[in-house]
Structure 1
């Protein structure tokens, strides 16, 4: 059941009165509410996506008035009856998740708007590189935007120097993806070079960052940009939540691709396509290394800002990440304790897949080495693959250590949002080093 909250904390009330009087917000919501009901009864013209997003950014999902949620629910029924644009229906499903009782990590991050695929399938559709590039370009546009009194209420807006640091790091994240897209977007090569220069610059050039991010953003079709825009529905009005959502969305794309590559490698090994499996897993090493700046980017989020909106995200937790759990389980089959832990209880679809599969890539590798027909040539190829898997495991451990450090700084001794012990839980799973499970 959705709990309606109409009282902000003291800081929120103070800022709201400074930036935009409640009466103005109420009038705006009333207008959107009436427009939605009219559209639901007589759906003429396009669905008012921009108006809906403006309301969610003005209030935060957790504080959107019940009357507006009910109007959106009526509009959704009309969309379904008319076979409206699937993106609009997905937007409404994510926007109404707290009303529906379906709120989760997946809906909080708007993942259905970014890809229809679920792990261990590849991102597909728009494509992981294009999505990653758009997510980071949009984050840069947000961070270096002109600050004026016409934008929606934002609490704890970071100082310009911190915003530019984030812009630099986001550019570092998107450059490799943009490089790979130059065949489809010839202008991307020059833009990627400018992004490298901006990331390495010693002076803050907000105008260049905004111009560059906008040019990168506009490389992509409007329909794709619209999906990325619709995927960001913050629960509150703390500015750092924009950064939080965009970085977590980027992580999920990486995890999906890691899981898909590992699944493909699992199929390649029994077919004796060891070179293909090795190439796929080397790609995983590259993906993990290219994504390292995401941790530096996320680490710029201020603990006091995170704690300001964290309470409104309860019900959504990274422990629900299907991509991460699929990658972990496909790399090496989890033991019984791990499979029955909260980590996999939080992803029932992946848990079922893992229980039915019974093995991971590490086990498949062991079977191939001990199976019939194994010769010196196969042994050398498998040894090379094994060396790459060790490298994947080591880089993955570095990821977990970095995540632990960030979580320790952000939440301290607070419990985790996925009903875990928080930092204590993360410290305990540091021991889950994959190659400790290797059969002797």
Structure 2
């Protein structure tokens, strides 16, 4: 006989009740895909990027919460939040495997429908970089036509980055690490910060929380770098060395981004150990 979950108490009628779809707003989410061509693979392209934006939304939620906890000196919850960010980046990495099932011929069928739109213009990606500390003011350009996007980015560069709050914990522990004066610039290597981290890594038992905090940031950047690398290889596999739809040099631009380091002190100290 067919199994009937209602006989064991499962709710089967949702007239006047909140259902799964209601709670998640699935009517909006599942009707937000609007291909502009008849190409079969355009839906894949749209879903890939929309789901990536959802994961980035969660990453920003966790990064901002972690920054608040670190600033307050409450590091244990921040460890969990930063570990989650690394797992989110791992999820974003896996998504490239799905997009890479699309061939150059299939992408060509709908590429003109994109117009000038490009992932280069992702507001949330830019905010992730700004929160982490890679604050390149030139990258505000694609968002300046929308005040509701540009204003939060401008507000972000007025406050300490995630890494700034972490170096604040070094100062709280007695290390001579100066606070940055120019918050609207990317992080540059700081000899005093590198020396402080080297001391932490030489004696992790004494500085366990700082040691763990540093490794959580390295985990995040490790996965973030892999995400950028997978982006490069996916783009090269699909469009070769054509210019990007948003006007960038495509693969050549993305390769330059591979050289950007979010937390240079934490990587450079390893040479000294």
- Which TM-score tier does this pair reach, normalised by the shorter chain? 0.7 to 0.9
CA shift at 1:230, angstroms? 2.1
Counterpart residue number, 1:330: 131
| Contact 1:259–1:324 (Cα < 8 Å) also in 2 | no
Post-superposition shift, 1:219?
5.2
TM-score (norm 2): 0.72
Counterparts of 2:264 and 2:43, CA distance in 1? 38
Which residue in the other structure is 2:60 paired with? 259
**Is the 8 Å Cα contact of residues 134 and 262 (structure 2) preserved in structure 1?**
no
Shift of 1:264: 1.0
Asked if residue 384 in structure 1 is aligned to residue 212 in structure 2, the reply is: yes
1:355 to 142, 157, 161: 157
Provide the residue aligned with 1:339 in structure 2.
137
Matches within 5 A, 1:228-239: 228-239=29-40
Asked if 1 retains the 8 angstrom alpha-carbon contact of 2:67 and 2:165, the reply is yes
Which residue does the alignment assign to 1:286? Answer: 87
Contact 2:93 2:230 in 1 (8 A): no
Match for residue 398 of structure 1 among 220, 226, 251: 226
Deviations 1:287-327 (A, max 9, x none): 22233331111111121121221112123111111111111
Match of 2:240 among 398, 412, 421: 412
> 3-state DSSP class of the match of 2:48?
helix
Report the counterpart of residue 427 of structure 1 in structure 2.
255
- Which residues of structure 2 form unaligned runs of 5+? 1-9, 12-18, 145-149, 176-199
Choose which of 311, 328, 332 in structure 1 pairs with 2:112: 311
Residues 285, 395 of structure 1: 8 Å contact kept: yes
Give runs of ≥4 in structure 1 deviating > 6 Å.
Answer: 372-378
Partners of 1:234 and 1:223 lie apart in 2 by: 23
Per-residue CA deviations over 1:192-239 (Å, capped at 9, x if unaligned) read: xxxxxxxxxxxxxxxxxxxxxxxxxx9534983321232011121101
- 2:58 is aligned with 1:247: no
Which structure features the higher share of helix residues?
Answer: 1
Deviation (angstroms), 1:380: 2.1
Q: TM-score, normalised by structure 1?
A: 0.46
> 1:327-378, CA deviations, whole angstroms, 9 ceiling, x for partnerless residues?
12111242xxx322xx332234253133322x31112101221136789999
CA contact (8 A) 2:86 2:223 kept: yes
Closer, same or farther in 2 for the Cα pair 1:368/1:317, shift >3 Å?
Answer: same
> Is the 1:333–1:363 contact (alpha carbons within 8 Å) kept by the matching residues of 2?
no
Number of matched residues?
219
Q: Which runs of 5+ in 1 are unaligned?
A: 1-185, 188-217
How many angstroms does 1:276 deviate by?
A: 1.2
| Residues 70, 166 of structure 2: 8 Å contact kept | yes
1:281 CA displacement: 0.2
Partner of 1:300: 101
Deviations 1:99-129 (A, max 9, x none): xxxxxxxxxxxxxxxxxxxxxxxxxxxxxxx
Residues 242-294 of structure 1 show CA distances to partners (whole Å, capped at 9, x for unaligned) of 01101111100111111121111111112111111111000111222233331
Query: Residue 369 of structure 1 contacts residue 379 of structure 1 at CA under 8 Å; is this kept in 2?
Result: no
2:72 alignment counterpart? 271
Greater relative CO (CA pairs within 8 A, separation 6+)? 2
Q: How does 1:9-408 map to 2 (within 5 A)?
A: 220-221=21-22, 224-334=25-135, 338-340=136-138, 343-348=139-144, 349=150, 350-357=152-159, 359-371=160-172, 379-408=207-236
Contact persistence 1:256–1:327 (CA under 8 A): no
Cα gap change, 1:413 to 1:292, in 2 (>3 Å):
closer
> Residue 38 of structure 1 aligns with which residue?
none
**Cα offset for 1:392?**
0.8
Does the CA-based 8 Å contact 2:116-2:247 persist in structure 1?
no
